């Protein structure tokens, strides 16, 4: 995180009240359904009529999920919210509000906190999400950004991991591998790709600012167009493993159909890595993996038309056989493992396997 010491003030110079004020002044007026917002002991919100609450939480830890040397404060604010919105999208929920848990090193520039909050609020504004409260604590070590997000949806629109059946088609949004290539590039050179390297710059942007698939997630739920869905926070291989385990099925993935990010493909090749394996194993893309019944093809096609240009690709199907198979021109083989592959290769324990509610 580049410290832009505009006023030289650090977190350690400010008391909790001053810090909260600093955040509160940046937050736009809360919607009417927030009865009590930032500044009280807890937030009070009115439930959306006729809906269920969907709650999720996710935490980014310096040294585990990011390094301040190559991710800006504004990017971190964006990402903290994006990873939570991604989980809500995977449930089909419309996001409503978030609470933020900040664990801040005393040496962090107060201006960086401002940028972090701004990065978060910019994404929040795009999805009409209200920041309604939270907590601030000093850290004796790393910067830790925790968030809890609340969304809403109707009972019959709930989209879980568990409903997939043999014969369902597997579809994935966006492209894969971009964030993994971007991260690998940053781990090698925190300054980022050379000027004019548009391919890699796109990958780095993908890693720093994932775009949660909120609209298509809620459309899938509302139109009951999918049997099951999961967001790919830790990559396709990992997500597919979770989804198939939850459904009690296996899967065949058509390697030629996997939408590998073009910039990432070229970069993986220059690194001597097989692009397909790297894209399937790599994490941080935050795309949605969806199981669609053939009987719901029409509904699903309608959703993809409404998805405002988000590409969505048919990559395989669920099978009765519990194996996870990657089909390539050279023949069938087992799907590569997920994150561990990258962990040992590059980051030396950069990331831990984290549980998810
Ligand atoms: Mg998830």
In a domain? residue 164: no
Q: What is the CA radius of gyration of the chain?
A: 21
In a domain? residue 296: yes
What is the model's pLDDT at position 37?
95
- Pair 112, 77 in one domain: yes
Residues with a beta carbon under 5 angstroms from ion ligand 1:
87, 231
The Cβ of residue 59 has, within 10 Å, a number of other Cβ atoms equal to 17
Report the alpha-carbon distance of residue 285 to residue 63 in Å, rounded: 19
Domain end: 122, 157, 192, which one?
A: 157
* Structural domains counted in the chain: 2
In a domain? residue 3: no
What is the model's pLDDT at position 191?
85
Query: 236 CA to middle of ligand 1, Å?
Result: 12
Query: 150 CA to middle of ligand 1, Å?
Result: 14
- Pair 128, 42 in one domain: yes
Domain end: 133, 157, 181, which one?
A: 157
Query: 56 CA to middle of ligand 1, Å?
Result: 9
Report the alpha-carbon distance of residue 207 to residue 186 in Å, rounded: 10
Which of 186, 329, 319 is CA-nearest to residue 256? 329
Report the alpha-carbon distance of residue 82 to residue 309 in Å, rounded: 19
Query: 178 CA to middle of ligand 1, Å?
Result: 18
- Pair 42, 129 in one domain: yes
* H runs (alpha helix) in 142-197: 178-188
- Pair 86, 203 in one domain: no
Q: Indicate which CATH number applies to the domain containing 279.
A: 3.90.650.10
* CB burial readout 134-152, b (16+ within 10 A) else e: bebeebeebbbbbbbbbbb
Query: 286 CA to middle of ligand 1, Å?
Result: 8
Phi-psi region of 186 (alpha: psi -120 to 50; beta: other; left: phi over 0): alpha
Q: Could you give the 3-state DSSP secondary structure of residue 316?
A: strand
In a domain? residue 185: yes
Q: Indicate which CATH number applies to the domain containing 61.
A: 3.30.1330.10
Query: 307 CA to middle of ligand 1, Å?
Result: 20
What is the model's pLDDT at position 195?
80
- Pair 189, 319 in one domain: yes
- Pair 148, 177 in one domain: no
Query: 22 CA to middle of ligand 1, Å?
Result: 31
Domain end: 157, 191, 212, which one?
A: 157
What is the model's pLDDT at position 339?
56
In a domain? residue 337: yes
Q: How many CA atoms lie within 13 A of 202 on its CB side?
A: 14
Query: Domain range holding 136?
Result: 11-157
Query: pTM for the whole thing?
Result: 0.92
- Pair 180, 148 in one domain: no
10-residue averages of pLDDT along the chain (357 residues)? 66 93 95 95 96 97 92 97 98 98 96 97 98 95 97 97 97 97 91 84 95 97 97 96 98 98 94 95 95 96 93 98 96 83 39 42
What is the model's pLDDT at position 192?
84
Query: 12 CA to middle of ligand 1, Å?
Result: 34
Query: 89 CA to middle of ligand 1, Å?
Result: 9
């Amino acid at each position: 995180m580049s410290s832009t010491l505009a006023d030289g003030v650090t977190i350690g110079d400010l008391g909790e009240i001053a810090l909260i004020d600093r955040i509160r002044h940046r937050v736009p007026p809360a919607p009417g359904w927030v009865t009590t917002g930032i500044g009280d002991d807890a937030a009070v919100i009115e439930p959306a009529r006729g809906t269920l609450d969907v709650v999720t939480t996710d935490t980014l830890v310096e040294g585990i999920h990011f390094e301040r040397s190559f991710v800006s404060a504004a990017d971190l604010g964006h990402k903290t919210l994006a990873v939570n919105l991604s989980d809500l999208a995977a449930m089909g929920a419309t996001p409503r509000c978030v609470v933020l848990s900040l664990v801040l090193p005393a040496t962090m520039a107060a201006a960086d906190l401002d940028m972090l909050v701004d990065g978060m609020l910019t994404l929040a504004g795009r999805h009409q999400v209200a920041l309604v409260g939270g907590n601030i604590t000093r850290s004796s070590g790393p910067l830790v950004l925790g968030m809890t997000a609340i969304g809403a949806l109707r009972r019959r629109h709930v989209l879980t991991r568990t409903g997939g059946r043999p014969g369902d088609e597997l579809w994935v949004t966006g492209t894969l591998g971009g964030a993994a290539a971007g991260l690998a590039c940053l781990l090698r050179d925190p300054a980022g790709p050379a000027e004019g390297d548009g391919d890699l710059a796109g990958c780095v942007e993908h890693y720093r600012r994932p775009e949660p698939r909120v609209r298509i997630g809620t459309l899938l739920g509302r139109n009951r167009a999918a049997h099951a869905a999961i967001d790919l926070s830790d990559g396709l291989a990992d997500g597919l493993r979770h989804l198939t385990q939850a459904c009690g099925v296996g899967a065949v993935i058509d390697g030629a159909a996997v939408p590998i990010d073009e910039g990432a493909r070229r970069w993986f090749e220059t690194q001597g890595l097989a692009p397909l394996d790297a894209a399937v194993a790599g994490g941080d893309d935050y795309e949605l993996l969806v199981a669609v019944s053939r009987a719901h093809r029409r509904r699903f096609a309608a959703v993809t038309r409404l998805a405002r240009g988000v590409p969505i690709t048919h990559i395989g199907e669920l099978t009765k056989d519990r194996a996870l198979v990657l089909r390539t021109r050279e023949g069938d083989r087992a799907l590569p493992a997920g994150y561990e592959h990258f962990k040992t290769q590059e980051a030396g324990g950069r990331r831990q396997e984290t549980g998810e509610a």
